[in-house]
Amino acid sequence: MAVKVVVLVGGVGGAKLAYGLARVLPPEDLTVIVNTGDDFWHYGLRICPDLDTILYTLAEVVDKSNGWGVGGDTVHLLDALRRYGEDTWFRLGDQDVATHLLRTHWLREEQTLTAITARLAAALGVRVTILPMTDEPVATMVNTVEYGEITFQEYFVRYRWQPTVKSLRLDGIEQARMTDAVCHAIEQADIILIGPSNPWLSIDPILSVPGLRTLVESRPIPRVAVTPIVGGRALKGPAAKLMVELGYNPSPLAVADHYGSVINGFVYDRSDGQLSMPLLHTAGFETIMKTENDKIFLAETVLQWIKDWHSIQA
């Protein structure tokens, strides 16, 4: 029996688990729902960093050292912009720009982000379904001590997530609608996973799309998050620093607690010892994914563990 898996992800961290899942599941059984709160306009181009990170990772063209952008890409466009005196704080590779150009062109033709993402994925040979969390623009705004409210990419890339965060706001979230594709995928899923992405910056925007959190919570199936916090530190990026600034202890327990009734299972890193969390199925596995084999192993291990506790027959 086929097991349909939906995974909610942000960028680089979530892409690793999505990659592992894509290697162990038939493409028709995997749907990746991606945060679009990081999306922004830059030089008139619509840039969707997390969607592209997932797309390039699953297409096996991602820059492996950064985890984003296209491997081996050149930066002639950035060099030319610099000659005009521009501050090129957001690094855009030349091949990557083709993605943004085409996406922007198709958006101007009033195609949806869902349809555009499907076209880009098909062209790159990706058969797994990649879905933006919504077709409406939503922007994660970061209220900082140093610069006031700034866009996510200014916070993350321009200031290298060093500003102190006071609060977060999702601009446009009230107008965002759950797409039919996202709704259908969640309704049909046998397992819902949350990747080891930043709960506040990457997963909360997805769960905040009106109706989405309630729909996930209503599904009587395994709903399992994988920790992005190991040994009190973030696997990548600002998760632990942000947790402290928002008043949380950076621990796997705090992450599980934050997801609350969205999840009924939680995977933490085995180096954190034996953790038990009331009302949750928990397991400690090797969650740090450095190599291709690590990604495949974690995906396989998590799926097998879920099948064992939920007696789902593969």
Query: Shortest Cβ distance from residue 70 to ligand FO1 (Å)?
Result: 9
Query: Shortest Cβ distance from residue 10 to ligand FO1 (Å)?
Result: 5
8 vs 191, beta carbon nearer ligand FO1: 8
49 vs 163, beta carbon nearer ligand FO1: 49
Query: Shortest Cβ distance from residue 134 to ligand FO1 (Å)?
Result: 16
Whole-number Å distance between alpha carbons of 56 and 295? 16
62 vs 173, beta carbon nearer ligand FO1: 62
52 vs 190, beta carbon nearer ligand FO1: 52
7 vs 306, beta carbon nearer ligand FO1: 7
98 vs 244, beta carbon nearer ligand FO1: 98
Query: Shortest Cβ distance from residue 53 to ligand FO1 (Å)?
Result: 6
Position with the least CB separation from ligand FO1: 11
Instruction: Output the 3-class SS for the chain.
Output: CCCCEEEEECCHHHHHHHHHHHHHCCHHHEEEEECCCCCEEECCEEECHHHHHHHHHHCCCECCCCCCCECCCCCHHHHHHHHCCCCCCCCCCHHHHHHHHHHHHHHHCCCCHHHHHHHHHHHCCCCCEEEECCCCCCEEEEEECCCEEEEHHHHHHHCCCCCCEEEEEEECHHHCCCCHHHHHHHHHCCEEEECCCCHHHHHHHHHCCCCHHHHHHHCCCCEEEECCEECCEECCCCHHHHHHHCCCCCCHHHHHHHHHHHCCEEEEEHHHCCCCCCCCEEEEECCCCCCHHHHHHHHHHHHHHHHHHHCCCC
Whole-number Å distance between alpha carbons of 4 and 16? 19
56 vs 248, beta carbon nearer ligand FO1: 56
User: What is the amino acid identity at position 149?
Assistant: E
Query: Shortest Cβ distance from residue 279 to ligand FO1 (Å)?
Result: 30
Query: Shortest Cβ distance from residue 101 to ligand FO1 (Å)?
Result: 13
Query: Shortest Cβ distance from residue 132 to ligand FO1 (Å)?
Result: 14
The residues that bridge with 7 in the sheet, in sequence order, are 32, 193
Q: Site residues (CB under 6 A) for ligand FO1?
A: 10-12, 38, 49-50, 52-53, 68-69, 90-92, 96, 153, 156-157
Whole-number Å distance between alpha carbons of 183 and 186? 5
Query: Shortest Cβ distance from residue 199 to ligand FO1 (Å)?
Result: 13
172 vs 284, beta carbon nearer ligand FO1: 172
Whole-number Å distance between alpha carbons of 133 and 130? 10
